[in-house]
Chains A and B, each alone.
Chain A
Amino acid sequence: MAEVYLNSKFVGNIDNPIEFVQKLREERRKGSVPDKLNVHYNERANEVQLESSKGRARRPLIIIKDGVPLLTEKHIKQLEKNEISWSDLVKQGVIEYLDAAEEENSLIAFFESELTPEHTHLEITPLGMLGYCTSLVPYGNFNQSTRLNAGSKNQKQALGFYASNFAVRMDMDVNLMHYPQRPIVNTIMHDISKYDTHPAGQNLVVAIMSYKGYNMEDAIVLNKGSIEKGLGRSTYYRPSIAEELRYAGGLIDQVCIPDKEVKGYKTEKDYRFLEDDGIIYPEAKVKEGDVVIGKTSPPRFLSSMEEYSLASSTRRESSINLKHGEEGVVDFVLITENEEGNRLVQVRLRDERVPEVGDKFTSRHGQKGIVGLIVPQSDMPFSASGIVPDLIFSPHGIPSRMTISHLIEMVAGKVGALAGRHINGTTFDAEPEERLRKELLSLGFRESGVETMYNGQTGEQYHAKIFIGDMYYLKLKHMVANKIHSRARGPIQLLTRQPTEGRAKEGGLRLGEMEKDTFVAHGASLLLKERFDSDKTVVPVCDSCGIIAIRDNYRNKSYCPVCGENVDVNDIEISYAFKLMLDEFKSLGIYPKLQLESKY
C-alpha cells in the first residue's frame, strides 16, 4: 500500500506502487497520458508523487529498454534527412523529459558505452547538463566548475554584434563591436547557435608573461599597434528621449528652440545645434551641457499664476541636455508617436570607444582583467619569427585559479591559426590536447607552446621561454569612460546641504564612518574637522534661550524669535546637518537648548 499524491494533493492508495509507476510511465511514453506528467516513487516514505504543475525544470533524456537505447540509427538518419523532428521523437516515446524528482528513480548513463541492463536513461550529450553560455567555453571539462560559471557570466557581458538591424533600433545603453571574429577554437554550440552570425570577440595573440608589473593583480597589457588596427574597438549608443506630455487644461509640451523669455533659458550657445524644429541635426558633435532636444513646458502652477503674473506665457524650459561627462556624435533622429498619441522624439548618440587603460577584457574561462598599460608595438616583446603579442596576460592568474582550459585554448588556437582550420573544443568531446601538440610540432613549433622571446625595448633574449598562443578574447561592457568620476566642488542636496551622491549627479566621494575612524585613530582632529566642513554653516544662537536666532542683514542685526531684540546673539559654526537635527527635534516638541561657552 502506498499513498498517491497528484500535485502534492492526496488522491488515493495503490497496492503495488512499483508496478503502478512503471505502468504509468509506459502509458506516458505511448502517449495516452500527457508527457508533462512526471512520476516519482519515494521508497522511504512509501508514496507516489505525480507532478504536472508549471515551473519545474525538466531535461530530455533518451529512454533505455533492456540496456538498449530506443534511439536507433534509423532515427538519426531520418533526422538528418529532416523527415522527423525532435517533437516526433518525444511523441514516439524515444526521448522523454524528467524533472528533478523523477531523476531520483532513474539511472542515467553518460555515454552509450557505459550502458548496463540497470540503466533507464542515456544522456543525449554530456553538453546537456550545461547551459548555452557555459557550452561556449572550450575545453570546459578541464576546469573547476566555479571558473565555468565565471566564464559563462563574462560572456553575457561581452560586446558583439547584438542585432543586425542595430542601425534602426533605439536600444538603451548598447555597444557594438567593430570587427568581431568567429573563434578559432569553437564548440558545437557555436555551430548550433550560428555564433558566426553574431560573434562577440576577437582572436588575439596572447603571451603569458609579466610586463614591468603593469599586469599584476589581473591587469592585462595591450599592444598599441593592435588597438590602432582595430582591436577591441566599439561604439556606444545611447538615446535621449523627449515626449510632448499633455497637461490638464489642454496645455502641452512643445519641442522647439525655446524663446529667450522662457523661464530657465540657458545660453544661446547651448542651443546652437538645434534646427528649426528644435531637434539637433545628425552628425553634430556634442559635449556635456549641450541641448539635444529643445523643449518647453507650460507653467507649473497655472491657476495661481494667472491671477498675479502680468506676462501671459511664462513657459518653463525643459530641454534634454547631455549629462555630466557625456559626449558623442548625433547618430540618428526618430520622430514618432507613443501609445498615448503624444509626439515622441528620440535622438541617438554614438560614441566611438577605443580601448583605454581601465577597460575590461576577458577570455572565455573566467579570466577577466583590466587594461593596465598600452604599449607601443615597438616596445612589445617579440618571438623569433617576429610575432608580437596583442595582449600580455599575467602568469599569476593561472595556478590558484586552475583554468587549464585557458592554457589548452592557447595551444589549440595556435594550431588553428597556423594550420588554417577551426578547432573543436566542445566540452567532453574536444580534439585531444595530445593531437594538438603533435600537430604543433609538425608545424615547426615546440609542442609545449613556449617560444623564445626577445625584449622589445633592448632586443635582449629573455631567459625564460614564453608560453604564447592564440585565444578568443572578449571586450566587456564595463568601460572606464562610463564610470570615471571625481569632484572637488559641486552640487549639494537641498535638505542637508551635503554633497550629492553618485556619478550621475556629480556627487562627492563619501568619507564614511570607518574612514572617519582612521582620522580619529591618528589623532588628526583638525584635519577631520576640515574634511567634514562640506556642510558647515554659521548660525546665530540666542544667549538666553539657546535657540537658533535670526540674522537680519538689512538692519545688520540679529534677533531671537523667542526673546526678541534685547538679547545677546552669538554666531557659531556648526554642520548644517546638526542644525537640521535641532529643527527636527523642535518639530517633535523637544527643546534643544544650546548653552554657549567661550572656547578659550
Chain B
Amino acid sequence: MADIISEYEDRLPPKIIEDVRNSIAKGISETKLKKLLEATCEEYKNSRVAPGESVGLIAAESIGEPGTQMTLNTFHFAGVAEMNVTLGLPRIIEILDGRKELDNPMMEIYLKKPFATGKKIEDLRHLALQIKETKLKDIATEFTINIADLTIEVKLDKDKMKEIDLTTGKVLDAISKQLKGYNLRDNKDSIVLKARSKEDSFNDSYKTKEKIKEINVKGIKGIFQVLPVKREEEFVIITAGSNLADILQLEEVDAYRTTTNNLFEIEHVLGIEAARQAIINEILKVIESQGLNVDVRHIMLVADTMCVSGTVKGITRYGVVSEKSSVLARASFETPIKHIINAALVGEVDNLDSVVENVMINQAIPIGTGLPGLTVKAPQKAAKEK
C-alpha cells in the first residue's frame, strides 16, 4: 500500500501525501486508494494558480487596499511602565521597507516551567529586573570632575540601587570591565575614578565622564523596559528594546517561543527561514489587530520576495527593486536618472520580459492573455515570396 502512495511523490507535495497517509481508513482496497489519489491529484491541479496569473500584483492590491483603511496609530501599552507599540500602516511600512532601526523594538520572552507558572512572583520580578538594562546614569545622582587632580566622582543613589538589587561592588565590577585605564575607588556614597596615565587632560576627563554615563551596570544591553504580563495560563515578559542573541543565552528563557519584532536580529540569530516566517507573522499581526483580513498566501509571497536573495531585503529602490533585471522597470520606480545612466555606461540590454516595460512601449504585456505565444513556425515560403 505504501508503494502506491509513494508512486505519487513526484505529483503531490510531501505535506499532502502525509495528510493522505494519515487520513485513509485501514484496510482500504488498492483500487479505492488509487481512485482517491487520482482525485487528490486532480483537486491539487485545479487549486494551483493558473500560468500567467499576476500573483505579485494581486498580492500588492490585496495588501494595499486594506492598507487604505488602516488607522495611523501607535498603540499605547497599558501597564506600570510606559511602552509604545507601532501598529497600523507605519508598522507595515517599517516591515516592508526592511528597516534596520525600528521605532519601537520589542520582545516577547517566554519562560521555562518554574518561572512561567508565576507561582513565585518574586522570582519573576527578579528575573525581569535582571533583564532590564541599567545604565550608570540611571543610578547616579551626580557626575562631577575635580579639576585639581582630574578625578571623576559619581554620586550613587543608594535607594535606587537597593530597589534593583545592586551593590557598589557590583557597579565597580561592571565599570572596570567596560572601562580600561582607570583606577576605581569606593568612596562610600560615591565612586571615584582616576586615570592611570599621567597625561590625562581635562578634555579627556570630560569625555570619560560622558562615556561612563552610558555604561551598562546591570541587565541586558538594549532592553530599556520590562513588563511581565499574564498570557492565558503563563507569564510572559514583554520588553521595550530588543536583544535576541543575549536573551536566548539566559537559562530561564524558553528559546523555542521567545521572539522579537526586529527582523534583522532574527535573521542574524536564527537564519533566513526564521526571518521569512517572522515577516509573515509580523504583517499578519498588524492586519489582524486592525480587524482586517488578508489571505496569508499574499503575505507569504511578499516575504518570499524579500528573502530569496538569502538576506532580508526591503521593498525599496535599494532592496528588492534594485535586483530587477530590466533597466526600464527600475527606472520607472524612483531615481530614474541613476538607473538610466548606469545602464548606458555598461550597455545594458533590456529584454522587455516583464510588465512595466511593455506598458511603456505599448505592447501586449506577458501576463494573462498576453502570455501564450504561437508554437507553430510560420511557413518560410511566405517570407521568401516577399
Contacts of B54 in A (CB 8 A): 520-521, 523
**Contacting residues of chain A (584-598) with chain B, CB-CB under 8 angstroms:** 585, 590-591, 595
Interface string of A523-562 (1 = CB under 8 A from B): 1111011001101100000000000000000000000000
A529 and B53 within 8 A (CB): no
Expressed in whole angstroms, the minimum distance between the Cβ of A309 and any Cβ of chain B is 42
Q: A522-B368, A523-B53 are in contact. Are A516 and B359 (CB under 8 A)?
A: yes
Of A516, A575, A595, which one neighbours B349 at CB under 8 angstroms? A595
Expressed in whole angstroms, the minimum distance between the Cβ of A3 and any Cβ of chain B is 30
Residue of B nearest to A599 (CB): B373
**Contacting residues of chain B (334-386) with chain A, CB-CB under 8 angstroms:** 340-341, 344, 349, 355, 359-371, 373-374, 377-378
Report Cα–Cα, A367/B215, bound state, in Å: 63
A532 and B349 within 8 A (CB): no
Any chain A CB within 8 A of the CB of B61? yes
Interface string of A250-272 (1 = CB under 8 A from B): 00000000000000000000000
Expressed in whole angstroms, the minimum distance between the Cβ of A363 and any Cβ of chain B is 30
Residue of B nearest to A590 (CB): B344
Any chain A CB within 8 A of the CB of B57? yes
Consensus secondary structure, chain A interface: helix
Report Cα–Cα, A525/B53, bound state, in Å: 11
Residue of B nearest to A598 (CB): B378
Report Cα–Cα, A154/B352, bound state, in Å: 52
B359 and A528 within 8 A (CB): yes
Expressed in whole angstroms, the minimum distance between the Cβ of A511 and any Cβ of chain B is 11
Any chain A CB within 8 A of the CB of B52? yes
Contacts of A578 in B (CB 8 A): 360-362
Contacts of A525 in B (CB 8 A): 364-371
Any chain A CB within 8 A of the CB of B16? no
**For chains A and B in complex, what number of residue pairs have CB atoms within 8 angstroms?**
73
Contacts of A591 in B (CB 8 A): 344
Any chain A CB within 8 A of the CB of B274? no
Report Cα–Cα, A536/B364, bound state, in Å: 13
Any chain A CB within 8 A of the CB of B58? yes
A523 and B52 within 8 A (CB): yes
Residue of B nearest to A584 (CB): B340
B362 and A529 within 8 A (CB): yes
Q: A517-B57, A517-B61, A600-B373 are in contact. Are A524 and B368 (CB under 8 A)?
A: yes
Q: A521-B61, A526-B370 are in contact. Are A575 and B360 (CB under 8 A)?
A: yes
Any chain B CB within 8 A of the CB of A574? yes
Residue of B nearest to A594 (CB): B361
Can you spell out 13 A-B residue pairs with CB atoms less than 8 angstroms apart?
Answer: A517-B61, A521-B54, A521-B61, A523-B54, A524-B368, A525-B368, A525-B371, A528-B359, A529-B370, A578-B362, A590-B341, A595-B349, A600-B377
Q: What 8 pairs across the A-B complex have the smallest Cβ distances?
A: A523-B368, A525-B370, A575-B362, A590-B344, A578-B361, A525-B364, A525-B369, A525-B365
Q: 17 other contacts beyond A523-B52, A528-B364, A573-B362, with CB at 8 A cut-off?
A: A516-B359, A517-B61, A518-B61, A520-B365, A521-B57, A525-B364, A528-B359, A529-B370, A532-B359, A533-B362, A535-B362, A575-B361, A578-B361, A585-B340, A585-B344, A591-B344, A595-B349
